[in-house]
């Protein structure tokens, strides 16, 4: 795990995680040293910082997934050659609380006029 916050690092360590401070070490070098050059099997990028995504991509084992759950404030350049040569999967993911779509469907159904009834449409 990579975490700049001392309190979150400490909490993760209490639960058995090995945690790197990205301000104190080169994350890619540390990961590669710890994995004997293999890289990690998966990464979840939650920071929304381009350098965190780059470190995740550069720390991966071949054919490993990098899952992006963070939002970025603007366009982010990625090392496309590294992604392709390692045959890794670069995935975006979004999670919603239970019921969020139902609430939106009801709200939108009251506000919007349905012009075409599509089979399976919750408001149709």
Residue 31 CA to residue 58 CA, distance in Å, equals 9
Which residue is it, tokens 């690092």? 9
pTM of the model: 0.73
Instruction: Using the predicted structure, report yes or no on whether residue 24 has a pLDDT greater than 50.
Output: yes
Q: Which residue has the higher pLDDT, 57 or 99?
A: 57
Closest C-alpha to 112, from 124, 101, 120, 100: 124
Domains recognised in the chain with CATH numbers: 6-93 (3.40.50.720), 96-124 (no CATH)
For CA atoms 64, 82, 80, 28, give the dihedral sign: positive
Check residue 124 and give its pLDDT. 43
Residue 80 CA to residue 91 CA, distance in Å, equals 13
Check residue 101 and give its pLDDT. 59
Tens of pLDDT along 29-74?
999 999 999 999 999 999 999 999 999 999 999 999 999 999 999 9
Token digits of residue 4: 């700049």
């Amino acid at each position: 795990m990579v975490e700049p916050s001392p309190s979150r690092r400490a909490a993760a360590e209490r639960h058995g995680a090995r945690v790197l401070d990205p301000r104190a070490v080169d994350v890619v070098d540390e990961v590669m040293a710890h994995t004997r050059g293999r890289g990690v099997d998966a990464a979840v990028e939650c920071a929304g910082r381009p350098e965190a995504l780059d470190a995740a991509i550069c720390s991966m084992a071949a054919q490993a997934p990098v899952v992006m759950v963070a939002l970025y404030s603007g366009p982010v350049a990625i090392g496309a050659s590294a992604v392709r040569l390692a045959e890794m999967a670069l995935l975006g993911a979004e999670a919603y609380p239970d019921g969020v779509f139902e609430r939106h469907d009801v709200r939108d159904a009251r506000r919007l006029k349905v012009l075409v009834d599509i089979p399976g449409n919750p408001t149709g």
